[in-house]
Amino acid sequence: MGKRLYAIIGNPVLHSRSPLIFNYWFQKRNLPAIYSRVLATDLDSALNLCQKLNIQGFNVTAPFKAQILDKIADLSPEVRVIGATNTVIRRDGYLSSFNTDVNGILGAMLWGAQQMNKVPALVIGAGGAACAAIYALKKLGARISVINRTNEKARQLAERFGINFWEFADLKQAVRQSKLIVVAISENTDLLKPEWLSCEQILIDANYVHTTLPTIAAEAGVYYIPGTVWLEQQARQSFKIFTDEEAPALPDNLVHQNPYSGRLRNLALIGFMGAGKTALGQSLAQRLRWRFIDIDNVIVHNSGRRISTIFQKYGEAEFRRLETSALQQVLRSKNQVIACGGGIVISQHNRQLLQSKTTVIYLHAHPQNIWQRIDKTDRPLLHGIHSLNDAVRLYNERQDFYLSIADAILDTEQMSINQATELLHAEINNLL
């Protein structure tokens, strides 16, 4: 692994636009680093993969922001007060945590401390983002109230921070009595009504996916600050923590881009041999009701020759040419789960095709842990893999290629095919 690796963990996480932001900054600062997403059903699985891949730092999103604190010894002062983290770095083998959501809310408000003094502010929600918003608003002297669908959670939060509490049944009244409204919940559909709002209010959205607040704010004439502003502001502080460098300016439209525009309807599984691409691909295709395509099978069908025959008689260069041709052919169609050969990423052209035409999932499995399930009777020997050491060498040579084009990483060492299928099915459905 030549580049430093960073990521975001959560469930769901495939929707995150953080990789767009961080990879742009890494490129602008000429830093040898990659930022990706870690797919996991639970916190322990996510942390295990972070350790395996030596991920140097990661952002944390729901539902892990509070859960993870029990795993971290070094908590920053704001994390101790808020009770949640969204930024973690690895130092000398230990994890240290920070909360840059505070920077997100401060940057999103665009107000100075004097302007917020005694201003009535309502925070809707009771999770990590809501706690960060309350923490930031208290520093600015706002008069804060909290409300949540679960009244008890809001009541506990009010007692903890020494702020006011509203019953959820009184949401309309709470909104009307507030100058600043921070909506810090993931699902805000039909939460607010335009008639509750006035043009004198400010509405801050913590969510930038599946939100109806822009439409509601426009109808009510409210000054609306989208979740992408919060996202960028907290990411800037995370970047500083990760790299000790200031983040450069972002293009105006970057945080508003759909990361999967034009490529969501094809899912490519990449990874080393034995990682489970075929088994998972078949299972997931059936679950999504898409076609399953194995690139090697397309090569065999098109050439009329076995893979081993192509290697032995014509060499690897000819096989790679046929592989690229097969990939181009397959990508003319949609609604497919595509199992790619382990070496497809060697070609820069193939990497560009996969990045531009598919959602790429890197199935991670280290040869040392899956050596017994690797088929050693056919192609592996053609790559010069005669031992575990040979396999590890080849894995290391390809690792950066896998990571550089992956939209997300899934650890198949610690997850069954059924578990991986359900996780990916849920993540894809969340995007469709």
The CATH fold of domain 4-98+248-256: Rossmann fold (3.40.50)
The CATH fold of domain 266-431: Rossmann fold (3.40.50)
- CATH among 3.30.465.10, 3.40.50.720, 3.40.50.970, 3.20.20.150 for 103-225: 3.40.50.720
| Annotated catalytic residue 277 | no
Domain locations along the chain: 4-98+248-256, 103-225, 266-431
The pLDDT of residue 111 is: 46
The pLDDT of residue 113 is: 41
For the whole prediction, is pTM greater than 0.75?
Answer: yes
* b (16+ CB within 10 A) / e for 118-142: ebbbbbbbbbbbbbbbbbbbbebeb
**What distance in Å separates the CA atoms of residue 80 and residue 398, rounded to the nearest whole number?**
40
Active-site residue (options: 65, 153, 277, 376): 65
What does pLDDT average to in each consecutive run of 10 residues of the chain (432 residues)? 91 96 98 98 97 96 96 96 97 94 85 68 96 94 96 97 97 97 85 95 91 94 92 96 97 90 94 94 98 98 94 93 98 98 96 98 90 62 72 91 98 94 96 86
Going 6 to 42 to 272 to 321, the CA torsion angle's sign is negative
Do domains 4-98+248-256 and 103-225 share one topology? The answer is: yes
